[in-house]
Amino acid sequence: MKGFKPSAPFLLLLPAFIVLAAVVVVPLLLSLYSSFTPFRLTKPETFFVFVGLRNYLSILANTDFWWAFGRTVLLLTIALNLEMLLGLGLAMLVEKATRGQRILRTLMMFPMMFSPILVGFQFKFMFNDNIGLVNNALQSLGITQDAIPWLIEGHLAFIAISIAEIWSSTAIFAILILAGLLAMPKEPIEAARVDGCTPWQTFRYVTWPFVMPFAYIAMTIRSLDVARAYDIVKIMTDGGPAGRTELLWTLVARTAYSDGRMGMANAMAYFSILLSIAFTVYFFNKLAAARTQIGAEW
Amino acid sequence: MDENSSARLKRRLLGIVHRIGLFLAMLTICLPGLWIVLSSLRPTVEIMAKPPVWIPQEISFDAYVSMFSGIGKGGIPVIEYFRNSLIISVTSTIIAVAIGMAGGYAFARYRFRGKSSVFLGLMLTRTVPGIALSLPLFFLYVRLGIIDTHFGLILAYVALNVPFTIWLIDGFFRQVPKDLAEAAQIDGCTRWQAFWQVEFPLAGPGIASAAIFAFLTCWNEFALASQLTRSVSAKTLPVGLLDYTAEFTIDWRGMCALAVVMIIPALTLTYIVQKHLVGGLTSGAVKG
Amino acid sequence: MNRLLSGVSAGALLAFGAGTALAGDLPGKFEGVTVDVKLIGGQQYEKLYERIPEWEKATGAKVNILTKKNGFDIDKELKSDIASGSTNWCVGWNHSSFAPQYTGLYTDLSKLLPKEEIDAFVPSTIKAATIDGKLEMLPRAQFDVSALYYQKSLYENADNKTKFKAKYGYDLVPPDSWKEVTDQAEFFANPPNFYGTQFAGKEEAINGRFYEMVVAEGGEYLDKDGKPVFNSEAGIRALDWFVNLYKAKAVPAGTTNYLWDDLGQGFASGTVAINLDWPGWAGFFNDPKSSKVAGNVGVKVAPKGSSGKRTGWSGFHGFSVTENCPHKEAAASLVWWLTNEDSQKLEAAAGPLPTRTAVWDWDLKQAENDPYKKEVLSAFQEEAKHAFAVPQTPEWIEISNAVYPELQAAILGDKTSKQALDEAAAKATQILQDAGKL
């Protein structure tokens, strides 16, 4: 290493490397190791028993796990796409507004102020079948006479969770896409209008390519961050009833702390990391493609 | 003439549709939140009622009064929680944004070997689920003696936020045309000066939004905080929310009141900071 | 190795200290000693901690509160502590349902405290706090067992009385058996506006309710060898009770997702006739600011199952001293202080149930001029006689987590009770085998 002269980007990135190594990489190695052991929290000595791939093999054979896995992928796909669409719509509505931008933008971010556990309680009570706000409203408006079991019936529970998740996270898309819209030069739009483009064409060929990278950034950030939804799901249904809304995170968390089977839980967690990596890499490529499309480095 | 008026009519119609759409969107966003605010002001008997009581019959600040009236009288150490939350969130946001600016600048302005894999690698640190981190982190923190300290939580939050502050800020630096800084350097600025005087103000909105994100993430984070803090000396507001639950009971009104106490500063801050989302923006001058 | 050594030295200390403790010596003098403690936080639990400074003054010791957090988080923390070997703090939260999991963490208090002090507690709680012959915790005045809350007016209504008698052939009075609860619940139910009863439907809550029903039906959850046998006839009868109510729509459709908070809010909203619930809600239900049924609440001992036994799944919070605590005497003194008569009176005055015999009597006397409180306390005092704890196996929570989705599946009609219980028993057996218990 003699004569090693660190380059500018290396120095600039060094602080990030250090922090991430300390808080993420080192613990990650520890938990990777523990996924090869039958580690139980209440039996510390099991940390030193090496069982190779046994945890992973038993997960492969565990149908409950794969159901949860599939459900998580489905939730991610639905929630992220809807969030992006709604976020785009919201950002455009707000951007078009001529007055009250400050207020509108702040209100738009309102859901981001709510801690996920609060969102969980909030939607659990709102979707309560007996005294919840939603059923009360539907009954008062005469839309239904029944107490709809929102958090019980498989599809409804999935929808209720998605609504809570979408409510709490659409703002992230909206604000990023709005930032993109605001950063967008106005000339191309003027030019398009002069050329007689319809609003839809203007959007499709001018606005959208420009904000797309922002949408993908938001998408990727969100797909990295979705495990946040754990707090919401934990309180709303905790995977129930009868495992109908079990997601990877609720399964892993219950295995890890409630059952105390940390080794197994970590092995499950690594499967979910693979899932996140797949999502991230996918959006990352999309982002790169979107960037090239509008001229590599701007 | 005819065409003209129909175009005007169409525009007016569009305007109305836009306004209605905007109103509905804002309503959907705000209603669940307002429900929380109302819940904190109304007696529980009205909130969880059937048949529903739509128009509040009785408004009181009891929940807020008792929140501050000390342990044993329905109070919780809200001042301490607030202080902890504020110190931890602000400090970790500043650090995360600083690190993010350095990193984002490196990615936006330099070419180096393995750039995209380094970038991807940084992002992927974020894919690690909290559950895989929480116990090893707990082990480490106990050994280092930084469990239940502000420092410990700040460190964790910086790591939590750095990947996406880098990402966001990178994106916005890329938008600032390279030639601007180069022009400044030709005019005799050092790279450092060029950065602060030209590129930084232009990337302002990006940095502001990164900061808002980072702050809100820290302000609301629950899972790590519940694992890494223990006592009033470091517990944050989201963890404090659970002070309103006991094994078999919940004080929903109290919880809502604390939630409002949490939301107000976040909302105020957002309101102040969000103007920088546009403030740094240059209208025609830059791109021209 | 390290742990082993400290265990040995702790044992030596114990042998030395044993026998020296006398009731009159408490709280004792511990000048210069600092006791690290981990407590449960939250409004209901924290009033008691105001008594800590008095203990500090009396003994000269210092108490350093390391942790004060919510029950489930403190459970996580204790497990993390055991896993990372950081257990050299002294006094910790404990709960009868969780205690068996913390193998080796807590020490035997009967060796540290005089016998007459321990005898002052209700004997059944001391029995439940004794694990493998070690008294691992002293209970505070946070004893939980469920009694039946009901809306009085429903039973006073003449129309209800005649209709009920005509339909079921016996008088409409607050139920004394679970069969009567079923009849009455179906009779009162008028979905979606009004429900006969409700039950907690998830996590250890439904498993606990099922467990007590199995016992009331004359069955066992685990047999004397620790083998899961809840898929017996009695077990099926127990589960059918939940299934039939759900099928008859006598309970809210959402009940399988309810936890204690939903149940309490539901009964307070006045839309549920009969509600088996915890003592912590008694005040809430009768407060006009929080409950629509205030002034209309009756409380009765929990009903009997077909075997004649009453349900009585119970649990209690308490304090324990760690095996690795460097100042066990001081720690035990603090535990005694927080659970002594004055402390229990302080807690019981706010509503929770005491665990000392003398404080029960005191509590009842206090309530003499408050008919509602008197009704509540007498019901719970009666109920406490029938209370029983969960089986003392470290795997209890894990079994719970494996069993409850199966119970839910049966209630929702995805499986028959027999199928569900057979599968649940297979899972539970597997868990115990994996743990080397069977």
- Alpha carbon of C348: minimum distance to chain B alpha carbons (Å): 13
Please answer yes or no on whether C280 and B248 come within 8 Å at the CB atom: yes
Task: Report the share of chain B in percent with pLDDT over 70.
Answer: 91
Where residue A228 falls among pLDDT bands split at 50, 70, 90? low
Q: What's the average model confidence in pLDDT over A234-254?
A: 83
Please answer yes or no on whether B99 and A94 come within 8 Å at the CB atom: no
- Specify the domain boundaries for CATH 3.40.190.10 within chain C: 2-145+314-380, 147-311+393-434
Nearest 5°: CA angle at C193, between C189 and C195? 30
Q: Which of B248, B251, B258 to mutate to test the interface with C (most CBs of C within 10 A)?
A: B248
Closest partner residue to B43 (CB to CB) among C41, C67, C289 is C289
- Cβ-based neighbours of C265, under 8 Å, separated by 6 or more: A125, A128, A131, B44, B48, B252
pTM of the model: 0.83
Q: Judge residue C305's burial from the number of C-beta atoms within 10 Å of its C-beta, 0-12 exposed, 13-18 middle, 19 or more buried.
A: buried
Please answer yes or no on whether B71 and C269 come within 8 Å at the CB atom: no
Q: What is the DSSP track for C253-284?
A: GGGGG--HHHHHHHHHTT-BSEEEE-GGGHHH
Please answer yes or no on whether B212 and A175 come within 8 Å at the CB atom: yes
pLDDT at C400 over 80: yes
Q: What distance in Å separates the CA atoms of residue A174 and residue A109, rounded to the nearest whole number?
A: 8
Please answer yes or no on whether B231 and C66 come within 8 Å at the CB atom: yes
Question: How many domains does one find in chain A?
Answer: 1
How far apart, in Å, are the Cα atoms of A244 and each of A154, A238, B38, B99, B100?
6, 10, 32, 42, 40
- Put simply, whether C75 touches A (Cβ < 8 Å) is yes
Q: Which of B48, B81, B84, B222 to mutate to test the interface with C (most CBs of C within 10 A)?
A: B48
- Alpha carbon of C186: minimum distance to chain B alpha carbons (Å): 20
Length of chain C: 438
Partners for C (CB, 8 Å, 3+ pairs)? Answer: A, B
State the amino acid at position B279 in one-letter form.
G
Q: What is the pLDDT of residue A5?
A: 66
Q: What's the average model confidence in pLDDT over A254-263?
A: 82
Report chain B residues whose CB lies below 8 A from the CB of A211. none
Q: What distance in Å separates the CA atoms of residue C223 and residue A261, rounded to the nearest whole number?
A: 25
Residue with tokens 């509600």: C275
Q: What is the pLDDT of residue A227?
A: 67
pLDDT at B274 over 50: yes
**Is B56 within 8 Å of B253 (Cβ atoms)?**
no
B residues 217-256 near A, CB within 8 Å? Answer: 219-223, 237-238, 241-242, 250, 252, 255
Cis bond upstream, residue C192 (ω within 30): yes
ipTM above 0.90, yes or no: no
Q: What distance in Å separates the CA atoms of residue B201 and residue B56, rounded to the nearest whole number?
A: 48
* Enclosing domain of residue A144: 64-293
Q: What's the average model confidence in pLDDT over B160-188?
A: 81
Q: What distance in Å separates the CA atoms of residue B175 and residue B172, rounded to the nearest whole number?
A: 5
Q: How many C-beta atoms lie closer than 10 Å to residue A196's C-beta?
A: 7
Q: Which of A245-254, C59-68, C185-194, C319-328 shows the lowest per-residue confidence on average (mean pLDDT)?
A: A245-254
Closest partner residue to B244 (CB to CB) among C43, C80, C86 is C43
Q: What is the pLDDT of residue B92?
A: 95
pLDDT at C98 over 70: yes
- Please tell me the CATH code under which domain C2-145+314-380 is placed: 3.40.190.10
Residue A50 lies in a domain: no
Q: Which of C289, C297, C353, C390 to mutate to test the interface with B (most CBs of B within 10 A)?
A: C289
Chain A residue with the nearest C-alpha to that of C253: A149
Residue A3 lies in a domain: no
Report chain A residues whose CB lies below 8 A from the CB of B29. 107-108, 110-111, 167, 171
B residues 31-60 near A, CB within 8 Å? Answer: 32-33, 35-36, 48-52, 54
Residue A167 lies in a domain: yes
- Alpha carbon of A21: minimum distance to chain C alpha carbons (Å): 21
Length of chain B: 288
Residue A11 lies in a domain: no
Q: Phi first, then psi: what are they for C313, rounded to 5°? A: -60, 125
pLDDT at B286 over 60: no
Please answer yes or no on whether B230 and C268 come within 8 Å at the CB atom: no
Residue A174 lies in a domain: yes
Residue A154 lies in a domain: yes
Chains B and C: how many Cβ contacts under 8 Å?
117
**Is A276 within 8 Å of B131 (Cβ atoms)?**
no
Q: What is the CATH number of the domain that holds A82?
A: 1.10.3720.10
DSSP A203: I
According to DSSP, the residues that pair with C121 across neighbouring strands are C356
CATH architecture of C147-311+393-434: 3-Layer(aba) Sandwich (3.40)
pLDDT at B129 over 80: no
Please answer yes or no on whether C83 and A47 come within 8 Å at the CB atom: yes
Residue A178 lies in a domain: yes
Residue A16 lies in a domain: no
**pLDDT greater at residue A130 or residue B234:** B234
- Alpha carbon of C317: minimum distance to chain A alpha carbons (Å): 18
Q: What is the pLDDT of residue B281?
A: 36
